[in-house]
Structure 1
Amino acid sequence: MEELAKRFEEHRPRLRALAFGRLGPAVRPVLVNAAAGVIVVPRDRPVSVMGFTVRNGRIAAIDVLADPARLQRLDPALWAD
């Protein structure tokens, strides 16, 4: 497990770039349950909301909502420019 964690840390910047590089313009910061989060809104339609649990200055957990029915009920003001 320790070796896997070490390899992950070595590749973290590249993994982050791969994960968010194409989504960059569609990712907007939001508060999720009064904590840091993002909403992914390509072409003005939300596809996911992610809430981050931060411990000791690092992301310890990410909760993702991707249910289309629940996402449709979100207020568009959340991602308006």
Structure 2
Amino acid sequence: MQIIGINAVNCFSFIPVYLYRYFGQNTQISLFSFGPMIFGYFSFANGMFLLSVLLLLGFLLVWSLKKQTTLLIVETGAKHKIN
């Protein structure tokens, strides 16, 4: 049985395991019933992989928003020059 806590190897499982143990034991069907399979017992490598994927998605989101803003500014400038 795992003691709830944060250490170097298992640093991502504190909150989800706590929620799973709290809700999983008190309700028949729970959002956290798949907690250990999805969140629980992350190794350090899995955590770093997840972090890198989230960072990549964040950069893609910022890049797409920046591209949309740039297109809007260029379009507005072109309309201003025509008029």
Give the structure-2-normalised TM-score. Answer: 0.24
**Greater per-residue strand proportion:** 1
**Greater per-residue helix proportion:** 2
